[in-house]
Amino acid sequence: MTTATVTPHAEIAAPAADRSKFIGGLSQAVVGAFGLWAFALGSRTSSGADTIFGFSLTHGQSQVSVPAQATALTLSVIALACGLTRIFAPLGKAALRWLAVLYIVCMVLAFLIWAASGSSIGLNVPSILEQTAIATVPLVLGSMSALISERSGVVNIAVEGQFLSGAFTAALTASMTGSVWVGLVAGMAAGAAMSSLLALFANRYMIEQVVLGVVINVLASGLTGFFYDRLMALNGAEYNTPPIFSPLRIPGLASIGVIGPLFNQNIIFYAAYILVPLLWFMLYRTRWGLRTRSVGEHPLAADTVGIKVLGLRYRNMFFAGLLSGLGGVWLTIGNTGQFGKDMSTGRGYIAIAALIVGRWSPVGAFAASVMFGFALVINTALSPLGTPIPGAFLQMAPYLVTIFLVAILGGRVRPPAAENKPFKKG
């Protein structure tokens, strides 16, 4: 006679998952109901107002007009239904993910339709897509950097500091040499140096990794701020006027309507987006990826089969630092053309949030980065429309979205098991 046994872990996990599902669905339903009241039934979409979508960079060409109230009402009802479905329907993980995607799309579209309702300017879709893609670049590089390190078992809160180090070094070096390529190498090396410093103290001296990451962020902010005041602020013409990467137009693709501007960007832009499928392949289809995941989940078992746990963690942290350093390079010689104090403005932390929302997956982290990238440019995109939302509130949008999504999804995700747990051989 056999008997089935239930482990205490399973007994605890099932109610916790159900509770997280209920809280997440309830939060979605509440926000959906608010959207129904504010976006669909508000005065801005009443009186037969329309919303114009422009599909050409030239104003007045290739436009589509939709009834604002009816469209916002339909989208808000769908979003509300998504939240209720999540609460009551017995859906699997894959179905819940697609339901979340549908919910986010409906809420974003309902908000945009409300914001542009009655405006003669409307929403320029190619411009919004391009701005979002550009804002997403450092978030993708930062989240992929954190993905490599955290899949190896080391928490990388120091992405923000690596951004600042890479941005400052790239701008300074490119200004002094006149070469974007020298600035690129120097910026990536600076990010790798900061990441290696984190790896050293986390693995050798076993310092608490979250606290260590925050300290490194403060260190990077202080160092770059000090040298900015001593060099760049006093002689910006010599130390803070770097060249920037020129756009690399892809023939044919750059002429496609709506998405054409995405194919007239510089090499760092393309590298960030190519990195996502490349890292997915490396993580799940190569020997390196198998070893990295094993070190992040069960380092003791990996050590018993001959994997050098600490050596792999050091190497992966170095490579992760190269990526976050490249994110810093993008901020200066890849985009703006000069360095400013604390110019990363929290993008490193948002990249880590994207990794958490994306469940430590390259594809998931990329999708979350795009969503946060859109939140970063929402103020610029909506400023010509005269919305009643204060500009300061729109500037807070990426951080509010981060808090909302991490609060909803944070309880349903599981980080690598060995994360923030120092490994000591023997």
**This model's pTM is above 0.95:** no
Integer angstrom CA distances of residue 205 from 197, 270, 419: 11, 38, 16
Among 62-71, 224-233, 402-411, name the one with the lowest average pLDDT: 402-411
Domain co-membership, 113 together with 140: no
| Number of folded domains that form the chain | 2
Domain co-membership, 117 together with 137: no
Band of pLDDT at residue 14, cut at 50, 70 and 90: low
Supply the Cα-derived Rg of the chain in whole angstroms.
Answer: 23
Domain co-membership, 361 together with 242: yes
Residue type, 186: A
For 172, residues 6+ apart whose C-beta sits below 8 A from its C-beta are 186, 227, 231, 232, 239, 240, 242, 339
Tokens of 15: 């109610």
Band of pLDDT at residue 3, cut at 50, 70 and 90: very low
Domain co-membership, 46 together with 193: no
Domain co-membership, 75 together with 146: no
Residue ending a domain, among 91, 121, 151, is 121
| Residue 211: HSE in the Cβ half-sphere, 13 Å Cα cutoff | 4
Domain co-membership, 150 together with 194: yes
Domain co-membership, 261 together with 375: yes
Domain co-membership, 85 together with 186: no
For 408, residues 6+ apart whose C-beta sits below 8 A from its C-beta are 23, 24, 27, 28
Do residues 158 and 226 touch, judged by C-beta distance below 8 A? no
Percent of the chain topping pLDDT 90: 61
Domain co-membership, 68 together with 216: no
Q: Is residue 100 part of a domain?
A: yes
Band of pLDDT at residue 43, cut at 50, 70 and 90: confident
Do residues 100 and 20 touch, judged by C-beta distance below 8 A? no
CATH of the domain at 274: 1.10.3470.10
Alpha carbon distance 209, 149 (integer Å): 12
Alpha carbon distance 143, 120 (integer Å): 38
Locate the DSSP E strands across 122-171.
123-124
Domain co-membership, 168 together with 196: yes
Among 115-119, 158-162, 222-226, 333-337, name the one with the lowest average pLDDT: 115-119
Domain co-membership, 22 together with 90: yes
Q: Is residue 420 part of a domain?
A: no
Do residues 143 and 352 touch, judged by C-beta distance below 8 A? yes
| Tokens 């500037």 -> residue | 395
Find the domain containing 387 and state its range.
127-412
Could you read off the pLDDT of 24-37 as tens digits, one per residue?
788 889 989 998 99
Q: Which of 50-64, 75-89, 310-324, 382-396 ranks highest by mean pLDDT?
A: 310-324
